[in-house]
Structure 1
Amino acid sequence: MTLRKNIVITGASSGLGEGMARLFAAKGRNLALAARRTERLDRLAGELKAAHPGIEVVVRQLDVNDHDQVFSVFKEFHQELGTLDRVIINAGIGKGQPIGSGRFDANKTTIETNLVAALAQAEAALEIFRARKAGHLVVVSSFASLRGMPGNTTAYAASKAGVATLAEGITADTYGTPIKVTTLLPGFIRSEMTEGVAAPLIASAERGAKSLVAAIEKERTRAYIPTLPWAPLSLVMRYLPLGLLRKVR
């Protein structure tokens, strides 16, 4: 297995992004962390460097919907660390509303952030990987991407289905090369995005982050997070009748 020493994580200021950063830092990896909230990034970077003095941690303020900034920040990370070995596209939101409820703004923002901005990040990462003929792209999709979902999750599920398909296309395009691609499909994991969700199968933030990092380190092409119960449930989800699917929220 190739050691991926220098790792970019977007959406790293909280939730799963922060959790992954802490675990990779404990493994001795250098980190390039990006998010909109720089004060939280700076605090996290300070904690990680104090706990693991041998690593480098660089941070940048980044709104992934500013596509020019995505390219410039990734280039800056590449220059600061000398090279980039792995890019984790983690930044995303889940603020959709039922279609036709007058909240086109929320649904548009969800699609733009989770899909179009992910495309910008993938483009920026692959430019670097193609130039050095190596690298590992990780795309965080969602279990919700498996089907069209009702209510508040319609636009979210569509955006995550789009990003999963995007990642699969990149996987096919780079197949047989030293450039690897991993698509992650998390189920319910405790985070700011799932705050208030009372799902019986929701995993703790710690378990979620550990499952993500384990799948990333194995460089699996596609992984459900955590594997149990979401891998077996994916088989059920694909064939769930619409009458039952509409009850899934």
Structure 2
Amino acid sequence: MVLRKNILITGASSGLGEGMARQFAAKGRNLALCGRRTEKLDALAAELKTAHPGITVVTRKLDVNDHDQVFSVFGEFAQELGSLDRVIVNAGLGKGQPIGTGRFDANRETLETNFIAAAAQVEAAVGIFREQRAGHLVVVSSFSAIRGLPKNVTAYAASKAGISSLAQGTRAELRGTPIKVTTLLPGYIESEMNDKVGGNPLATKAEPGARALVKAIESETAKAYVPTWPWVPLSLVMRVIPDGLLRKFT
């Protein structure tokens, strides 16, 4: 296994991004953390450097929907750390509404953030990796990417299916090179975005969820359902469940 020392995480000010940052810091990795809430990023960086004094943690404010800023911030991080060994495209939004209910604004924002902005992050990361001739791209998709879903999740699931496909195509493009691509498909993991899943019996607590994500990332597998149980067997069910039942349980 290649040691990926310098790791960039987008959307690192809370939720899954923050959880992964804590796990990687404990492993002694240097971190480049970005997000919109700089006060939370800076507080996290200070905490991690105090707990793990041997690591470097740098932060930048980044709205991933500012695509030019994505490229400039990624480049600044690469210069500051000397290289980027792994980029985790994690920033996302879960704000969709049922189709045709007058909330195209929410669905558009979800699609733009989770697909277009994620595509910009993939472009920026792979551009740096091509120059370095090495790197590991990690795209945080979702279990919901498996198929189209109803209700508030329609645009979200579509955005995650899109970025999963983009990651798959990127992986095929880079096959045979020293650049690896991993797609993560998390199930319900407690986070700020998923603050309503706490009552879901399938939900995983934040810390074990972050550990499972990092374990999958470190394996550098092409695709991983996280956590493995129950999401691997449920992925088979998800593909064949009738639409009527799917709507009932979504």
TM value normalised by structure 2: 0.99
Residues 142, 184 of structure 1: 8 Å contact kept: yes
Give the Cα separation in 1 of the matches to 2:139 and 2:66.
Answer: 19
**TM superposition shift of 1:164:** 0.3
In 1, Cα distance between the equivalents of 2:79 and 2:189?
34
CA-to-aligned-CA distance 1:89-140 (integer Å, 9 cap, x gap): 0000100000001000000000000000000000000110011111000000
- Indicate the SS of the match to 1:247: helix
Give the match's secondary structure for 1:139. Answer: strand
Q: Which residue of 2 aligns with 1:214?
A: 215
Taking structure 1 as the reference length, the TM-score comes to: 0.99
1:200-244 alpha-carbon deviations (Å, 9 max, x no partner): 100000111000000000001000010000001101111111111
Residues in 2 aligned to 1:73 and 1:132: alpha-carbon distance in whole angstroms: 17
Q: What are the within-5 Å matches in structure 2 for residues 41-56 of structure 1?
A: 41-56=41-56
| Equivalent position of 2:133 in the other structure | 133
- Structure 2, gaps ≥5 residues long: none
Aligned to 2:149: 149
Same amino acid, percent of matched pairs = 71
CA distance in 1, matches of 2:19, 2:238: 28
Amino acid corresponding to residue 108 of structure 1 in structure 2: R
Question: Which residue number in structure 2 is paired with residue 169 of structure 1?
Answer: 169
Q: Which residue of 2 aligns with 1:242?
A: 243
Q: Distance in 2 between matches of 1:73 and 1:228?
A: 36
Q: Is the 8 A contact 1:85 1:136 kept in 2?
A: yes
Give the 3-state SS of the residue equivalent to 2:188 in structure 1.
coil
**Counterpart code for 1:165:** S
Are the aligned partners of 1:224 and 1:231 in contact in 2 as well (CA < 8 Å)?
Answer: yes
Task: Give the counterpart letter for 1:203 in structure 2.
Answer: T
Alignment partner, residue 158 of structure 2: 158
Structure 1 partner of 2:110: 110
- Give the corresponding residue for 1:119: 119
Q: Secondary structure at the match of 1:60?
A: strand
Residue 22 (structure 2) aligns with: 22
Residue 248 of structure 1, CA deviation = 2.8
2: distance between equivalents of 1:119 and 1:110? 13
Report the residue type matching 2:243 in the other structure. L
Residues 1:71 and 2:47 are matched in the alignment: no
- Where structure 1 has 5 or more consecutive residues not aligned to the other structure, the ranges are none
Q: CA RMSD in A?
A: 0.6
Instruction: Return structure 1 stretches of 4+ with deviation > 2 angstroms.
Output: none
Structure 1 residue 82: Cα displacement:
0.3
Give the number of equivalent residue pairs. Answer: 249
**For residue 95 of structure 2, what is the aligned residue in structure 1?**
95
User: Structure 2 counterpart of 1:199, which letter?
Assistant: N
1:141-170 Cα shifts (integer Å, max 9, x gaps): 000000100100000000000000000000
Distance in structure 2 (CA, Å) of the matches to 1:187 and 1:140: 11
SS of residue in 2 equivalent to 1:136: strand
2:128 maps to a residue whose letter is I
**Structure 2 counterparts to residues 179-198 of structure 1, below 5 A:** 179-197=179-197, 198=199
| Alignment partner, residue 84 of structure 1 | 84
| Aligned-partner Cα distance in 1 for 2:52–2:200 | 35
Query: 1:187: how far off?
Result: 0.4
CA contact (8 A) 1:149 1:248 kept: no
* 1:3 equivalent in structure 2: 3
- The one-letter amino acid of 2:130's match is R
> What amino acid sits opposite 2:75 in the alignment?
K
What is the deviation of 1:196?
2.1
Give how far 1:246 is off: 1.4
Q: Output the CA distance in 2 between the equivalents of 1:217 and 1:196.
A: 29
After TM superposition, give the deviation of residue 176 of structure 1 in Å: 1.4
